[in-house]
Amino acid sequence: MGFGEEELDALKHPELVSMLVNATVSWCSVSVNRDVLKRLLSQVHDVEREIATVDRMLRLGASTEMVSRFYGLTHQEVALRRDILGLPKRKGRHPVLDEAQDTALWKHWQAGIAERGIALDDEVAMLSLTMELAETLSLPMSVIWAAIRNWIDQGLV
């Protein structure tokens, strides 16, 4: 900040600080590093976006493991987020898809990856598509994710 040892020592004395605060002449100036400021402000928006995505995932039935894998939250942090959102406590696994649900999911997923040109190893894009499919089909996100991973692992695509 440009203070020398003598100036720092003077700032320890209330009467000298009072004189500086009430001085009529300008004795300091402030400059703003706009690039750093913009970067810091964008980080705030990134964090807000991340929180919104985690909340959306949890509302759509994502598992704790999914949230942990993509956003690094611990089991305790995910549980706290669920409490904050007023979501019920999860007990066990979601039921598996019946044949009609599996077929509908397959068709929607195939259309989604074709429309967006999503590579099978692009997990971030696949996560976004999974959220959309969970909303469209009213199925838990964790069930959809497991089905998609299973299809990819089996080489069905």
Structural domain contains residue 51:
no
Whole-number Å distance between alpha carbons of 106 and 133: 10
Structural domain contains residue 129:
yes
Residues 84-133: tens digit of each pLDDT: 999 988 777 777 899 999 999 999 999 999 999 999 999 999 999 999 99
Instruction: Give the number of domains in the chain.
Output: 1
pLDDT value for 1: 64
Structural domain contains residue 130:
yes
pLDDT value for 9: 87
Structural domain boundaries enclosing 153? 94-157
Residues 48-74: tens digit of each pLDDT: 999 999 999 999 999 999 999 999 999
The answer to whether the CB of 130 falls within 8 A of the CB of 81 is: no
Structural domain contains residue 55:
no
- Helix, strand, coil: what percent of the chain each, to 5? 65, 0, 35
pLDDT value for 93: 73
Structural domain contains residue 27:
no
The torsion defined by the Cα of 64, 66, 70 and 71, in degrees rounded to 10, comes to -10
